[in-house]
Amino acid sequence: MDYQVKVENFEGPMDLLLFFIQRDKLNIYDIPIAHITKEFLDYMKLMDMMNIDLGGEFVYMASLLMKIKAKMLLPVSDEDVEQIEDPRTPLVQRLLEYQQYKKVGEQLQEIYSDHAVHFPLGQDMAYDAGSEKKINPVQNVTLFTLSSIFQELINRLPDVNPYELHEDPIQLDEQIAFLIGEINSTKRLSFTILIPILKTRLRIVVTFMAILEMLRTNQITIEQNEPFGELILMRAAA
């Protein structure tokens, strides 16, 4: 019967020995040295037939296994049995240490793989949007900031006699057209320019709604270069 073995990628002779022990369900503390030595030598023969060069550590391990096997074949008197150390003991200790290191290495690799998909706090994530161009209409400005400024404008309006009624018809489309005209003429419309024009609460509210609508439809962008700085309205890039 021909010897058959599935070729695995072993990191070294210790890895190969552990493979044989686990595959054949052997007791690592009581290794059948004759069986394991035959398996190891057959593997080396197979690699030689496939023209695969093995490192010197495999040759060393083969000689060590044959040495252990030879020692175990030597006759020992009953009086010396308890005094003579088992020739397999150093090999078993090395296998146990290697097994422990391999287990820890696999755990570290799992931790590394898990953390490799996370980004540390504060680190920018690279994002490729492809051919689609993303436009951020509001730079360094939040809706809360914008709302606060309009609320401040309303609070700064002079008190009006509640018995006086003023008709001030104003449409959303009119304010959008007004803002577009102002931005086209100045390119960068400073928000303070609008303050003297927005004299009533209704105009302030409708202008605020016009700006929100223009932001929603990507007609304008807003910049604020520093906290509490000037708001700049500009036409959005086509």
Contacts of 61 (CB under 8 A, 6+ apart): 13, 14, 17, 40
CA distances from 36 to 27, 30, 114, 124 (A): 11, 11, 37, 54
pLDDT in tens, the chain (238 residues): 444 444 455 678 888 888 888 888 888 888 888 888 888 888 888 777 766 777 788 888 888 888 888 888 877 666 655 667 788 888 888 888 888 888 888 888 888 887 777 666 655 555 455 545 555 565 556 666 666 676 777 777 666 555 455 556 778 888 888 888 888 888 888 877 777 777 777 788 888 888 888 888 888 888 877 766 778 888 887 6
Report the distance separating Cα 95 and Cα 93, nearest Å.
5
Query: Token pair of 225, please?
Result: 């270069």
Residue extents of the structural domains in the chain: 13-114, 138-158+168-235
Name residue, tokens 């105009």.
203
Give residue 126's pLDDT: 54
Give residue 159's pLDDT: 63
Report the distance separating Cα 99 and Cα 36, nearest Å.
17
Give residue 144's pLDDT: 61
Tell me the sheet residues that pair with 233.
189, 222
pTM: 0.40
User: What top-level class would CATH report for the domain 138-158+168-235?
Assistant: mainly alpha
What DSSP element (H or E) covers 21?
helix 13-23
- Cβ atoms of residues 138 and 221 within 8 Å: yes
